[in-house]
Amino acid sequence: MATGIRDKVAILGMGCSKFGERWESSAEDLIIESFQEALADAGIEKKEIQAAWFGTHIDEVNVGKSGVPLSTTLKFPFIPVTRTENFCATGTEAFRGACYAVAAGVYDICLALGVEKLKDTGYGGLPATAAFGQMQAMIGPNATAPGLFAQLATGYFAKYGVDPALGKKALAHISAKSHANGALNPKAHLRRPVSEEQIIHAPMIAYPLGLFDCCGVSDGAAAAIVTTPEIARSLKKQGPVLVKALAICVSSGEEAMFNNWDGAHLETTVRAGQMAFKEAGIKNPREEISMMEVHDCFSITELTVYEDLQISPRGKAIDDTMDGFFDLKGKIPCQPDGGLKCFGHPIGASGLRMLYEMYSQLLERWPEERRVKNPRFGLTHNLGGIPSTNVCSVAVIGR
C-alpha cells in the first residue's frame, strides 16, 4: 500500500546562486556556483552522488536538451542524469525525482539542480512559445501573462465584492512586503524597498496590475542534495531537514472549457495543497505551517493562493494581508527571501530557490533581522501556465 514520501528523505545540503542580470556568467557558471555551495553544505565528495535530476525549461535559449549539460559541466563520472521540465514547477520536479529515487531505495545520495539563463535572450519577458504566440495573435493583448492574471484579480474582486481601491492597496502591501524582505537578502535580484504609495501609482501594465505587481526575469540556479534520514544522521547533519510532502497537480481542462470555474481561484493549488497536507499529516495549515514561499508571478496570484492553501478563509485574504499576517514578523511569513518579486523567475531554478530559503530558515542560518522565529514546517508552491490551465506543485519540508 502506498505510504507517500513523508520522512523518507532528508535534505543533506543546498546551494543557491546570486540571482539577477548575470551577464558575466553562463548557465554553466551558475550551475557550478549553486552546486559548490550545496556540496560544501552536504559535507560529502562529488563522487558520492549516485544520480542527478536537472531542471531547465527553455532549452532553445539556455543550456540545450537532455541531462548532458549538467554532467559535462560538473564532470560527473558517468552517473545517470535525467532532465526534467514541467513549466514553472521544473525545479521542484527535479527535486521530486531525486527524492523519489532515494525513498525507493534505488540510490543513497542524489542531486537535484535547476538553472535558467534568460537575460541573454534579448527579450524583456519570458520568450513566447509557439502555442502561446498563436493564442496571443488570435485573442489579443489579454493573452499575455499580465493580461490573464489581471482577469484573476478582477474575477476575485467581483466574486467577493472587493472595492477596487482596497484591492489595489492589498496587492500593493503584498509587493511592498516582498521588496522589504528582498532588501535584506544578498542573493536577491531586486534589493530596494518600495513603498505602497509608489506601487499604487506605478505605471499600469494590465488593470489592476501595475509595474510592481509583476515579477521580473532573472538568471539563476539552485541545487539540493538529498539522502535518507539515517545517512544524514550518521553524517551528524544539523536537523536534519526532512521532506514531509511532495504534490503535483495538473489542470484537466475543466477550468478552461466549462462554466463552473469562478475565475477567482486556482483549482490546481487547492488540490495540490490538499494532497500535500494529507501526506504531511497537517490538519490545520493556518496553525501548523510556519512560513511559505509561493509563486508570486503576480501579486494577485499570491493573494488567491493564501485562500487556496487553506491559510486564509475564502474572501478574507485581504483582511489577513492588511493585518500583517504574512509579513516577515507576522504569523506565517510569506516570501521571507523576497519571492519571485525580488528574485525574478529563472524558471528551472525557482522551485529549488524556494526550498533553499525554507531549508535555511529551518536551520536558523539567517541573521536575526530576516529570520523566521521557531519554524516547524516550510511550504513551497509553484504555478506554471495560466489561471485556467496550469501545473501546480506544493512541497512541505520540516525538522
238: cell is 544539523
- Radius of gyration in angstroms for the set of CA atoms belonging to the chain, rounded to a whole number: 20
What are the b/e assignments for 37-67, b being 16+ CB within 10 Å?
A: bbbebbebeeeebbbbbbbbbbeebbbeeeb
By DSSP bridging, strand 377-386 and strand 389-398 are: antiparallel
Contact predicate 93/86, CB 8 Å: yes
Is 381 a catalytic site residue? Answer: no
Catalytic residue among 88, 99, 297, 334: 88
Contact predicate 244/39, CB 8 Å: no
The C-alpha torsion from 251 through 131 and 63 to 245, rounded to 10°, is: 0
Check residue 186 and give left, alpha or beta (phi > 0: left; psi -120 to 50: alpha). Answer: alpha
6: number of Cβ within 10 Å: 18
CA–CA distance, 110 with 153 (Å, rounded to integer): 40
3-class DSSP state of 107: coil
Catalytic residue among 57, 179, 265, 345: 345
Residue with cell 483549482: 267
Q: Kindly report the CA angle at 104 between 98 and 110, in degrees rounded to 5?
A: 25
Check residue 24 and give left, alpha or beta (phi > 0: left; psi -120 to 50: alpha). Answer: alpha
Residues in the chain, overall count: 399
Is 345 a catalytic site residue? Answer: yes
Catalytic residue annotation: 88, 345
